[in-house]
Amino acid sequence: DAGITQSPRHKVTETGTPVTLRCHQTENHRYMYWYRQDPGHGLRLIHYSYGVKDTDKGEVSDGYSVSRSKTEDFLLTLESATSSQTSVYFCAISVKGAGGTEAFFGQGTRLTVV
């Protein structure tokens, strides 16, 4: 699992409340990613980071912000959760090897906004 831990694994929150999801890695990888997965849409990239304090938007970044103050932690924040953000969220890291780059994913966080 490349030392990736997501927390919490499950969360139910009310519309309009802020929510922060945490992704923690233990192997000092440079690149980290947040995806969401919804039925009929596959995995979609929300934000990614290419180093401490270096982040950029992905395909579906509206309503989300991220922060990376330490190499090992990549936080995803929903400033004011909406029902459309009910989803399964996956964190990932990528590792460059001799034959290319591989991505490794966490176990996911199931978020329900009621």
Partner 1 sequence: DAKTTQPPSMDCAEGRAANLPCNHSTISGNEYVYWYRQIHSQGPQYIIHGLKNNETNEMASLIITEDRKSSTLILPHATLRDTAVYYCIACEISSGSARQLTFGSGTQLTVLP
> How far, in Å, CA of 68 to CA of 54, rounded?
7
- Least distance in angstroms from the C-beta of 80 to partner 1: 26
End-to-end CA distance of the chain: 31
Among the listed residues 16, 26, 96, 112, the single contact to partner 1 using CB under 8 A = 96
DSSP-based three-state secondary structure for 90: strand
Residue closer to partner 1, measured from CB, 52 or 88? 88
- Least distance in angstroms from the C-beta of 16 to partner 1: 28
Site for partner 1 in 5-44 (CB under 8 A): 30-31, 33, 42-43
> How far, in Å, CA of 34 to CA of 36, rounded?
7
**Token output for 52:** 């401490």
Residue with tokens 């509206």: 62
Point out which residues bind partner 1 (CB under 8 A).
30-31, 33, 42-43, 45, 48, 50, 56, 58, 88, 90, 92, 94-96, 99-108
